[in-house]
Amino acid sequence: MKTVLITGCSSGIGYHVALGLQQRGYRVIATARQLKDVERLKQLGLESTQLDLERSESIQQAMDWVEANSGGELFALFNNGAYGQPGAIEDLSRDLLRKQLETNLLGWHELTCRVLPLMRRQGYGRIIQNSSVLGLITLRFRGAYNTSKFALEGYTDTLRQELSDTNIHVSLIEPGPVRSRFRENAFKAFRDNIDVKSSPHREIYEKVVLRLSSEDKGDDPFTLGPDAVLHKVIHALESKRPKPRYYVTLPTYLFGFLRRLLSTRMLDRVMLRVSSSEHK
């Protein structure tokens, strides 16, 4: 039975991928930041341990547990645990940006570096990184998240090149809008950390807060369920030659195409229109 380690399994993509792979016959180790979520995952029949990507000690303890309970073998790592810190670039403190990168990039790096010696010893492995359409293009007021995902794209491309002479395959998954608690958590991060009243973007912020505070938020027209990501993860795990990149949702295909087709200024115009429609 092949063992897969997944981060960020409390809800959304990580949760559904963990259950989907378990049903497919994989041995899944589903991790979460909070102990209450670890216990809930265990009740669902998943092996689970606590892993907080912001804390090196937590990563080390989790990997010690994984190595002890897997016999030192690990077929795949699905780096998924992440969050979005909204806000204009000029409203982000250094600490806020650092916190975003600690979870969305540096924690993944540390975990990956703990996993790689296991995969090298066994002679094979799969590393799958859950990126975003916002690792391909940018939207206003998502600067921290854009930065983390653009950095992840470069990081992962480099890692794939460095492992090209091994049997360790590295893939990126790039979802657009997927049904999860991501927006709910991002809205909380915005309210907790952004000083709306002092911002030059106050008027736009207030419109967004009003819209997101309404009871009927609805989904974007092209939103898919997390099963769409599960399908790509399965291919990355089971294909003899997994793809370097997997697009998920129509917006990712569209913006990936436009990024190659349009000049930087033309793409800026398109993305400003998209952003403006969101902030009405």
What residues does each domain of the chain span? 3-278
Tens of pLDDT along 35-58? 999 999 999 999 999 999 999 999
Question: Residues in the chain with pLDDT < 50?
Answer: none
Residue-level pLDDT at 215? 52
> Would you state the CATH architecture of domain 3-278?
3-Layer(aba) Sandwich (3.40)
Residue-level pLDDT at 81? 97
Round to whole Å and give the CA distance between 249 and 35: 32
Q: Which two tokens stand for residue 250?
A: 């129509």
| Catalytic residue (choose from 83, 145, 205, 246) | 145
Round to whole Å and give the CA distance between 248 and 129: 13
With H, G, I as helix, E, B as strand and everything else as coil, classify residue 237. Answer: helix
Query: What is the DSSP track for 15-81?
Result: HHHHHHHHHTT-EEEEEESSHHHHHHHHHTT-EEEE--TT-HHHHHHHHHHHHHHHTT--SEEEE--
Residue-level pLDDT at 221? 80
Tens of pLDDT along 206-242? 988 887 776 555 667 889 999 999 999 999 999 999 9
Q: Which two tokens stand for residue 180?
A: 């999860």
Residue-level pLDDT at 280? 60
Provide the residue count of the chain. Answer: 280
- Which pTM does this prediction carry? 0.95
- Residues 223, 178 contacting (CB under 8 angstroms): yes
φ/ψ of 209, rounded to 5, equals -60, -40
Q: Tell me, yes or no, if 145 is annotated catalytic.
A: yes
Specify the DSSP element, H or E, that contains 247. Answer: strand 245-248
Residue-level pLDDT at 275? 87
Beta partners for residue 130, in sequence order: 173
